[in-house]
Structures are given as structure tokens and as C-alpha cells.
Amino acid sequence: MEDFKSIKVTRKKGEFVKIIDNPTSYPLIGKGKQGAVFKISSDQCVKIYPNQIHTLNESIALKAAQESPISPKLYEVGENYIVMEYIEGRTLFQYLKKARVLSEEMTNNILFILMEMKRLKFIRLDCRLDHIIITNEGKLKVIDLVSHFTKKVDHPITLMEQLNKLGLLSDFLKQVKKIDLLSYQEWKKLV
């Protein structure tokens, strides 16, 4: 097996991570502001971080969520990397953009994720639609948990902003009102 530890990444403040060197054949499958993700086997990927604090923050969140159905499995943590389960599927953003409809079942699944974050004592109770993967089995998994113990966000503001951009926020809120009136009453003030 090639050594993914030879992959080098960097990042300037406010920018996405850049790959400095990848002497392996592992394909890049995603990158953001904290790290770059490479597929290393059919069921594992590695996230390489330019900043060790992000490695630490995400590993703490992943460890806390290991018994939760919303989180990928954690396999290994190094100084600047995390090896975790590779989740086959597409993002919730991609799915909803194509479907152009938000079912009540999907709203229930989103609410479950948000309640599960609260149960896990995450202080960031929000996530981007492109950080939620719909598996081939139809389950939802949350990726990119770097700031879930470090950035306090009490409401799903980003999630609702993205639903609004897709024209699905009013459907979401109508369904939340029916399923979870307390959350609806809190969140309707945000829009």
C-alpha cells in the first residue's frame, strides 16, 4: 500500500486547501478549508490537514460520534491525518438540487441528524447540505465535523440558507412545524 503520509497540503487563510505534492495514486475526492480527502481503498479515505488543530478537532468529534449512525467510522488518527470510512453516495445538496422536492421522510432524517448532534453534545448544531452524504442504502451520514465542538451555532442557519437557495425552505419549515413544533417556533424567527 502506498504511503498516504507523503501527501502534502497547505492553506492560506480564507482559502481552500491546496495540494502541494501527491506522489501516490490515491485520487482526490474532496477538499475544503480544513483538509483534502483522498480515497485509499474501496471502504476507506484519508483526510490530510495542513493545520494540526483541525486534525485534533475533527478526531475528537469523530470519536464522540462513533456509536452514532450519522458518523463515518474512524480507523486511525495521525499528526496531520485521519483515516475514516469512505461513504459511497452523493451529497444531500446534489440530491435535492436534482429532485427539486423535499419529502417529509427526508425532513425527518435531517431533524434526526440535528437532534443527534445535540445528543452528542456538539455545540455546532448546523451543517452544510454538501456535508451530508446520502448513502447508496438511503442513509444520511455527516462528514466534515471539524468545528462541531469548537464553533457555537445553536440553530441550523447554514442548512436553512442552502434549502432557501434551492427553493425548499418553506416546504422544510412546513414539515418541521408538523413534526417538531418547538424547533419550528425557534427556527421560523431566523428566516
- Among 59, 44, 74, which Cα is nearest to 148's? 59
Domain boundaries, the chain: 4-85, 89-190
Tell me the angle at which helices 92-99 and 104-119 cross, rounded to the nearest 10 degrees: 160
- The structure's pTM equals 0.93
Q: Please give the angle made by the CA atoms of 51, 56 and 62, to the nearest 5 degrees.
A: 125
Largest CA distance in the chain: 53
Task: Specify the fold of 4-85.
Answer: Phosphorylase Kinase; domain 1 (3.30.200)
> What is the chain's pLDDT, residue by residue, as a tens digit (191 residues)?
579 999 999 999 889 999 999 999 999 999 999 999 999 999 999 999 999 999 999 999 999 999 999 999 999 999 999 999 999 999 999 999 999 999 999 999 999 999 999 999 999 999 999 999 999 999 999 999 999 999 999 999 999 999 999 999 999 999 999 999 999 999 999 88
pLDDT at residue 1 in the model: 52
Q: Do the Cβ atoms of 71 and 48 come closer than 8 Å?
A: no
Q: Do the Cβ atoms of 74 and 62 come closer than 8 Å?
A: yes
Give the integer Cα–Cα distance in Å for 125 and 141. 15
Identify the three-state secondary structure at position 82: strand
Give the integer Cα–Cα distance in Å for 170 and 104. 12
Q: Please give the angle made by the CA atoms of 40, 46 and 49, to the nearest 5 degrees.
A: 145
DSSP assignment, residue 143? -
Give the integer Cα–Cα distance in Å for 17 and 10. 6
